[in-house]
Structure 1
């Protein structure tokens, strides 16, 4: 049976919605100097507006961790191509724009995060990490 946690019981940090370089695409920059750790290069789970997606943790030229998109599957997060960017949709749906802050809740460190607009409440399903052996098998199948 799943457990649920609210944002009030989690470590939360403040991120910022920014433009990705000179493009019109928006990204969420994460604080590099916080108590939260973000595994650069890994695909993590990201909850946006109650829906769970996958996002790769990238970094800017100065080393700041960033979510550049959120996608339906881990393989889309690794290679977005023509996949729909749910992060861009969510930012538009909640009425945010570049320069605005967002709250990033650490549901499970280095595995699952929630992103919410300032003042918004959130409840997350605490699923826990998968068994490492099973995760490796799933990753290898996803790569094929």
Structure 2
């Protein structure tokens, strides 16, 4: 017995700009844990392919605690190829996957990965889950 899959017409309608806004949160939240550490924890908890997670962690090693990669430390495509040992195509696919899923953002959207400046971002649903888990659990009132 198979389950019927929904058609595109049955899916909820959402404007592309709302979707992009929901996927990324450009401003790091105010928490006790640095953004980069939260990013690494979140990436390792995903079900993305291993080489995609590997590229994400390689990018994170260049970032400061706030998740920003300074101009002089941008690894670019060639740097990621050398650091990870993956082939050019594998790194490009990983970067495309990270960008599509909201894990990185390009400062210049039209730039090629050879020259693009990248910023670490955590998708909003995952950030919400991380913040909820980091919040101390309130004690239940005693009867």
**Superposition TM-score, scaled by structure 1 size:** 0.26
Q: Select the structure of larger CA radius of gyration.
A: 2
Q: Which has the higher strand share?
A: 1
**Superposition TM-score, scaled by structure 2 size:** 0.26
Q: Which has the higher helix share?
A: 2
